[in-house]
Chain A
Amino acid sequence: EADIYQTPRYLVIGTGKKITLECSQTMGHDKMYWYQQDPGMELHLIHYSYGVNSTEKGDLSSESTVSRIRTEHFPLTLESARPSHTSQYLCASTRTGTGVEKLFFGSGTQLSVL
Chain B
Amino acid sequence: AQSVAQPEDQVNVAEGNPLTVKCTYSVSGNPYLFWYVQYPNRGLQFLLKYITGDNLVKGSYGFEAEFNKSQTSFHLKKPSALVSDSALYFCAVTNSNTGKLIFGQGTTLQVKP
Contact = CB atoms under 8 A, between A and B. Distances in A.
Contacts of A33: 43-44
Contacts of A48: 43
Interface residues of A, number: 23
B96 interface: yes
B88 A100 contact: yes
A59 to B, nearest CB: 7
Interface of B: 9, 32, 34, 36, 38, 40-41, 43-46, 49, 51, 88, 90, 92, 94-96, 99-101, 103, 105-106, 108
Interface string A10-46: 0000000000000000000000010101111011110
A8 to B, nearest CB: 16
Contact of B99 (A40, A50, A100, A105): A40
A58 B90 CA distance: 18
A40 B36 contact: no
A102 B88 contact: yes
B23 to A, nearest CB: 15
Contacts of A35: 43-44
10 contacts: A33-B44, A40-B95, A42-B34, A43-B34, A43-B46, A59-B45, A90-B101, A92-B43, A102-B88, A108-B100
A88 B92 CA distance: 16
B43 to A, nearest CB: 4
Given A100-B108, A101-B88, A103-B90, 6 more contacts: A37-B101, A40-B32, A42-B36, A43-B36, A92-B44, A102-B106
